[in-house]
Homo-oligomer: A and B are copies of this chain.
């Protein structure tokens, strides 16, 4: 047995595109309750009140939707060196960037679907301005009590046309562990990967559109299931499109709520309670087709758009549905 590779520390931030930048920004600040922590060019940087880094969401104006890049922080500078060594002579290699608002030099690579992945170690710890100082010094920022008041970036979900390739990339090259998996006779449908004690930091679902590199959703965590229910109340009051939920996933047991932000990207508010994966040798839970037909934990049928709506839109196949 090889010892686990612990080089990735956690999911750091994601950059998504929106064709409605003002409305999307208003959604993330007023409905999600995030805090703007930087601006540059066409991008606004945002954060949850418990995110220790300056920014966990980069919202970039564009003529379309989807994800630009996904960043993981490494556990140490040495860990970053090791990951680059493992990637630089492979087809995944892209190269270094100098950094961005909130973090230092980052190494870029691509997964088999083409999703752009950044690895970095140097980061900027958030320094709250006076009006956002928390009452307790072990907290990054004052609790906003505005809208959903999302706590922190939790996980990301890619759509991918090549699930086995993605699995090998994130496990073999980056050291993630697979906690759950859907495998039909027709092949792998989805995988859940972690680099922390959270039960997943990255999920990857099969994209039937055939368009590689699409984005499924990004998730922010709240403290309790009641917070997710309240988020649904808030979404309803603010005219936000509720795709499905609140309900409990059978897989990972996440208590979920899926919304579309005004730009069209799917976003999730979730809570998994005290659930953690503490076992270093957790055995992947594999779900088959019969099991998945039962729907979500309490019987809710998975909504059809959950299997088709990704961003950017994949025109032809979706039109055919």
**Chain A residues packing against B (C-beta within 8 Å):** 1, 3-4, 6, 9-10, 33, 50, 52-53, 73-79, 125, 134-139, 142-143, 145-148, 151-152, 154, 180, 196-198, 221-226, 229-230, 232-237, 239, 242, 244-248, 250-253, 255, 271, 273-276, 278-280, 282-283, 285, 287, 291, 297-300
Nearest residue in B to A255 (C-beta to C-beta)? B229
Q: List 13 A-B contacts (CB under 8 A).
A: A3-B75, A4-B75, A75-B280, A136-B253, A138-B180, A143-B237, A145-B148, A197-B198, A197-B276, A198-B276, A224-B273, A245-B298, A246-B246
Contacts of A252 in B (CB 8 A): 138
Contacts of A50 in B (CB 8 A): 274-275
Known: A138-B253, A236-B135, A279-B52. A298 touches B146 (CB 8 A): no
Bound complex: CA of A250 vs CA of B138, how far in Å? 8
**Which among B148, B152, B221, B225 is the interface contact of A226 at CB below 8 angstroms?**
B225
**Which among B197, B221, B287 is the interface contact of A274 at CB below 8 angstroms?**
B221
- 8 closest Cβ contacts across the A-B interface? A223-B273, A197-B197, A10-B278, A9-B280, A75-B280, A221-B274, A138-B285, A224-B224
Contacts of A223 in B (CB 8 A): 224-225, 273-274
Bound complex: CA of A196 vs CA of B197, how far in Å? 7
Nearest residue in B to A52 (C-beta to C-beta)? B279
**Quick one: copies of this chain in the complex?**
4
Q: Majority SS of interface residues in chain A?
A: loop
Contacts of A74 in B (CB 8 A): 280
Tell me whether A9 and B229 are in contact (CB under 8 A): no
Q: Considering residues A78, A138, A148, A255, which has the most beta carbons from chain B within 10 angstroms of its beta carbon?
A: A138
Nearest residue in B to A236 (C-beta to C-beta)? B135
Bound complex: CA of A233 vs CA of B6, how far in Å? 34
Contacts of A9 in B (CB 8 A): 278-280
Contacts of A251 in B (CB 8 A): 138
Nearest Cβ on chain B to A112's Cβ, whole angstroms: 27
Bound complex: CA of A43 vs CA of B307, how far in Å? 50
Bound complex: CA of A230 vs CA of B196, how far in Å? 27
Tell me whether B234 and A274 are in contact (CB under 8 A): no
Bound complex: CA of A59 vs CA of B317, how far in Å? 55
Q: Considering residues A246, A253, A271, A278, which has the most beta carbons from chain B within 10 angstroms of its beta carbon?
A: A278
Tell me whether B234 and A248 are in contact (CB under 8 A): no
Nearest residue in B to A279 (C-beta to C-beta)? B52
